[in-house]
Amino acid sequence: MLRVLLVEDNEMNRDMLTRRLEKRGYSILVAMDGAQGLAAAQQLQPALILMDMSLPIMDGWEATRRLKNDSATRHTPVIGLSSHAMAADRERALQAGCDDYDTKPIDLERLIAKIEQCLAAHAIAS
């Protein structure tokens, strides 16, 4: 089963997205802030990371930058998530190293399409 790390500080969003993705066959690991997300990514080596950008302790931009600067996690695809649909936010997430970006509220089919696309691109690259 594919292990996806979900880094999300909002409990309701975290629980809802976990449940919906588990129903679709993904195994979900959770972290509640950027520092915890970074540690979980390094220790658990998930296949992909869903990273909320607005997080306490360490935000998603910083956590993603660190993941992409670490040889142990550099190749793990990261999809940035935020409630901002503005092009500048997407640009900022991609510049931090996110492989893709999606906006909340989550459209599950759209998100799953992005997850599958990232995993396929990663499989080709490695």
d(CA 78, CA 69): 13
Contact between 13 and Mg ion by CB under 5 A: the answer reads no
Contact between 117 and Mg ion by CB under 5 A: the answer reads no
# chain residues binding Mg ion, by CB under 5 A = 3
- Among positions 4, 5, 6, 9, the unique one binding Mg ion when judged by CB under 5 A: 9
Contact between 103 and Mg ion by CB under 5 A: the answer reads no
d(CA 51, CA 102): 10
Contact between 33 and Mg ion by CB under 5 A: the answer reads no
Q: Are 79 and 107 in contact (CB under 8 A)?
A: no
Minimum distance of Mg ion from residue 12's CB (angstroms):
11
Tokens 């990371």 sit on residue: 49
- Among positions 18, 54, 103, 117, the unique one binding Mg ion when judged by CB under 5 A: 54
SS3 content of the chain, % helix, strand, coil (to 5): 50, 20, 35
For Mg ion, the nearest residue by Cβ is 54
Contact between 59 and Mg ion by CB under 5 A: the answer reads no
Question: What number of other Cβ atoms are within 10 A of residue 53's Cβ?
Answer: 23
Stretch that binds Mg ion, among 2-10, 14-22, 37-45, 65-73 (CB under 5 A): 2-10
Minimum distance of Mg ion from residue 56's CB (angstroms):
8
Instruction: Strands of 39-116 (E only): list them.
Output: 48-52, 78-82, 100-103
